[in-house]
Amino acid sequence: MIKLTRLDGEPFLLNAELIKYVEQRPDTFVTLTTGDRIVVAEEPEVVLDRVLEYRRAIRLLPDAA
Give burial (CB, 10 Å; 0-12/13-18/19+) of 42: middle
**Could you tell me which residue, 30 or 63, shows the higher pLDDT?**
30
Measure the CA–CA gap between 37 and 45, rounded to whole angstroms.
Answer: 17
- Taking only the tens place, the pLDDT of each residue in 2-41 is 999 999 999 999 999 999 999 999 999 999 999 999 999 9
Confidence of residue 64 (pLDDT cuts 50, 70, 90): low
Contact 30, 47 (CB under 8 A): yes
**Could you tell me which residue, 60 or 30, shows the higher pLDDT?**
30
Measure the CA–CA gap between 63 and 65, rounded to whole angstroms.
Answer: 6
What is the model's pTM? Answer: 0.86
For the cut 80, the answer to whether the pLDDT of residue 60 exceeds it is no
Phi/psi of residue 2, nearest 5 degrees? -125, 150
